[in-house]
Amino acid sequence: MEPDIRYARNGDVAIAYQVVGSGGTDLVLVPDFVSNLVYFWETHYWREFYDRLARSFRLILFDKRGTGLSDRGAHFPALETRMEDMRVVLDAVGSDHAVVFGSHDGGRMAALYAATYPQRVDGLVLFQFPPHYEHGHSPSAREELRRLRLLWGTQPYADEMLSQACPTLLRSEADRLWFANCLRVGASPEVAYELNKAFFENDLREVLPVIRVPTLVLVRGEVEADISRASARLIPEARLVELAGSDYWGTFLSPEIADELEGFVAGLGAGHEADTVLATILFTDLVGSTARAAELGDRRWRELLSEHHARTRRELLRYRGIELDTAGDGFFARFDAPARAIRCACAIRESIADLGLDLRAGLHTGECELLDDKVAGIAVSIGARVAAQAGVGEVFVSQTVKDLVAGSGLSFVDRGVAELKGVPGEWRLYAVADA
């Protein structure tokens, strides 16, 4: 009998999860595009795979928001939103640190979680992991998404998917029907469309070099195998293991994965100390403050600046930003989620509008060194330079930030390529159009 279903809450959204096994190491399995905690147990494929993992680990399973038994909520395809859902599940089961195992689309969330919360990740395992989709914005991708939205859950479309990704299951009538039902009970056509659209638009290549936890990359077959191998090269000291078989999809088709996981965990040692972290840096600055101060006089300017600071700190608290410094009329803060940082910057801009103050802001996501309660590194410098490029009332972001927030409901205006003072290369910048 499968374990009981429980729910963890991220705000108003309920995330379904299960815990099975009592091993000494927590292993959280991040699902692919779709899952269903009831239906997956009803096939011998997933049941045998889960049971095998549960003999060695305390196995934590969950349905991502919008899929299976979990609520949808707002902005459900965004990686950072789903990453926070996983953190809520781990908190609910009392897991302070775990080995995180993600496959396909789930690998992206697993990788982002490991880079953002390295202190909570003992090890990272990625199976068939593509950090980006090369043709994500092409006409062919749009046509692929159109067909998916129209045909999702139909038997012919399910067969088409199997022929490309998992021919082994295509050979059996029962397996064909089971797979089509997986799609149907895993996600509605609209949810599947939104998840795949976000998958096409996300790009985690800039995140991979930031991952500092022990990492195992598993690859099977030749479909997109070169991408997985390239991913392993981008992650510092990642180990690549090629599995037998030719199917791209279907983690459960490689029973040796459990053995690889056991060996990987056995070699992890006593743990690691996180000295760097993936963070989103926010810089804000008041435009024309010198002239405004001269106009108002010292006392009135100090009062106005004090109110600006109070409103800024209120929004930082609301969006879980960490204030790092206040220099004159500007703020320097960090966040563990880029979309939340963008919304915070826009909220600060709106909150001070009735004070007659004009704000400009800039954001960048990158690797930051942890120095006590502060952060340092090139990502901080880039964030400051991005802010300097923004005009009156504008919130600018780097390409990295834009690539990470697909599915968040945010939109951007391309502001072209700029050279950032003291930072090598050219940088494409975007203005936030809708927060």
The CA-atom distances, in angstroms, between 30 and each of 106, 108, 155, 174, 322 are 5, 9, 26, 26, 28
**143 exposure class (CB count in 10 Å sphere: 0-12, 13-18, 19+):** exposed
Name the DSSP letter for residue 337: -
CATH code at 281? Answer: 3.30.70.1230
Residue 43: CATH number of its domain: 3.40.50.1820
Question: What is the span of the domain harbouring residue 286?
Answer: 276-434
Do 208 and 281 fall into the same domain? no
Q: Using one digit for the tens of pLDDT, what is the confidence trace for 245-276?
A: 999 999 999 999 999 999 999 999 766 677 89
Residue 425 lies in a domain: yes
- Do 96 and 55 belong to one domain? yes
pLDDT tens column, 285-341:
999 888 888 888 989 989 999 999 999 999 999 999 999 999 778 999 999 999 999
The answer to the question of residue 252 being in a domain is yes
* Whether 307 contacts 329, CB under 8 Å: no
Note the pTM of the prediction, 2 decimals.
0.93
pLDDT of residue 320: 95
Co-location of 316 and 362 in the same domain: yes
Residues 230 and 333 both lie in one domain: no
pLDDT of 137 > 80? The answer is no
Q: Give the rounded distance of the alpha carbon of 313 from its chain centre.
A: 26
Whether residue 227 is found in the same domain as residue 306 = no
Q: In the predicted model, what is the mean pLDDT of residues 352-363? A: 93
138 found inside a domain: no
**Number of domain units in the chain:** 2
Same domain? For 106 and 254 the reply is: yes
Same domain, 332 and 397: yes
